[in-house]
């Protein structure tokens, strides 16, 4: 292959007649980010210009219109965007979680057994059904 001029991606048709590597018309397209950086890329002439491109300098989104750069991304929440479950999984294994839930349910059963609202037959509320009583 020999070097070619602008707009050919630096390639000419190979001498063996293969259709690959032929001349490709191209164009330079500039993108601007919110910080004012300009990124220029070479695109094939038949490819549509994308709405966004990553800024080569800061990595932020850049747009082809210098007057309307993409909006700034929303700030991350102070907790990094993690859910309570993600925090829990960082501290506990699933087995530990199952054990803790079982302990909490046992404490709840004990507290309800000593509470007259749940044990007094005359009370509006009655004790919840316990599947262990069926055995």
Is the domain spanning 26-63 CATH 2.40.50.140? The answer is no
| Burial (0-12, 13-18, 19+ Cβ within 10 Å), 69 | buried
Name residue 8's beta-bridge partners: none
The pLDDT of residue 8 is 47
pLDDT at 90: 86
Annotate 51-93 with DSSP letters as a single string: S-EE-TTT--EEES-TTSPPPPPPPPPTTTT--HHHHHHHH--
What average pLDDT does range 90-112 have in this prediction? 90
Flag whether pLDDT at 17 surpasses 50. no
Query: Would you state the pLDDT for residue 73?
Result: 82
What element of type H or E holds 28? strand 26-33
Distance (Å, whole) CA 64 – CA 52:
7
């Amino acid at each position: 292959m020999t070097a070619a001029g602008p707009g050919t991606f630096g390639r000419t048709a190979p001498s063996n007649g293969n259709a690959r590597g032929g001349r490709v018309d191209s164009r330079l397209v500039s993108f601007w980010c919110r910080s004012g950086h300009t990124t220029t890329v070479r695109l094939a002439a038949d490819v549509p210009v994308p709405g966004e491109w990553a800024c080569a300098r800061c990595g932020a989104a850049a747009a082809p219109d210098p007057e309307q750069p993409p909006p700034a991304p929303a700030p991350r929440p102070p907790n990094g965007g993690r859910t309570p479950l993600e925090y829990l999984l960082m501290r506990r294994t699933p087995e530990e979680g199952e054990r803790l839930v079982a302990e909490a349910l046992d404490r709840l059963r004990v507290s309800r057994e000593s509470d007259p609202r749940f044990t007094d037959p005359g009370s509006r509320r009655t004790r919840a059904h316990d599947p262990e009583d069926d055995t």
